Amino acid sequence: MKPIYIDYLNALDIEALAMTDAEIIGAVEAGLVAQGKGQTVIEPRVHLEPDPSFHGHFNVLRGYVA
């Protein structure tokens, strides 16, 4: 089986990119174009609710651009 690599960016990673508004809008537009061409897989949102002592939940958004 071939290895699978997953990149995860946290808030500090995003800040370090120092993207401009135009770059962000361009990336969103490219993603929407790919979705319109059927080149994406976007699954329904999943809610992950840890133990109540953590006071919150996570929205897990899964998908990829082929």
Enumerate the domain spans of the chain.
11-65
Find how far residue 30's CA is from the centre of its chain. 14
| pLDDT(7) > 90 | no
Token pair in block for residue 35? 């979705």
What does the pLDDT look like over 24-50, one tens digit per residue?
A: 999 999 999 999 999 999 999 998 888
**Quick one: three-class SS letters along 31-59?**
HHHHHHCCCEEECCCEEECCCHHHCCCEE
Distance CA 63, CA 13 (A): 20
Average pLDDT, the chain: 92
pLDDT at 44: 93
pLDDT class of 52 with cuts at 50, 70, 90: confident
